[in-house]
């Protein structure tokens, strides 16, 4: 990571596909899990909700909220 630490990662062994599992909020989801050297476990789930929008599990608490039409106060780039 950042050229400082090496992380052992084998795509055949470290990526799991759960084709028969649908998470409660949205079917297009990705959960990342990591375990640090001291045994601390980290996990975050992301949902691709269409239109190029991705939200995390914390933002997906209200399934009736319209995440696909966010209010944008300013646009950081002109493109």
pLDDT given at position 10: 92
Query: What is the chain's pLDDT, residue by residue, as a tens digit (79 residues)?
Result: 678 888 888 999 999 988 888 888 888 899 999 888 899 999 999 999 888 889 888 887 665 665 555 565 666 676 6
Question: Is 25 inside a domain boundary?
Answer: yes
60 φ, ψ (degrees, to nearest 5): -95, 30
Instruction: List alpha helices for the chain, DSSP H.
Output: 11-14
- Specify if 20 maps to a domain: yes
Boundaries of domain holding 40: 11-60
Domain count, the chain: 1
pLDDT at 3: 80
Residue 2 within a domain: no
pTM more than 0.75: no
- CATH number for the domain harbouring residue 49: 3.30.1330.90
In a domain, 67, yes or no: no
Identify whether the C-beta of residue 31 lies closer than 8 Å to the C-beta of residue 22.
no
């Amino acid at each position: 990571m950042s050229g400082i630490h090496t992380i052992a990662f084998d795509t055949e062994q470290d990526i799991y596909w759960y084709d028969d599992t649908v998470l409660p909020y949205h079917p297009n989801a990705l959960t990342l899990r990591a375990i640090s050297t001291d045994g601390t476990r980290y996990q975050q789930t992301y949902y691709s909700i269409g239109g190029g929008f991705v939200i995390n599990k914390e933002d997906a608490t209200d399934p009736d909220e319209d995440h696909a039409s966010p209010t944008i106060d300013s646009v950081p780039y002109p493109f």
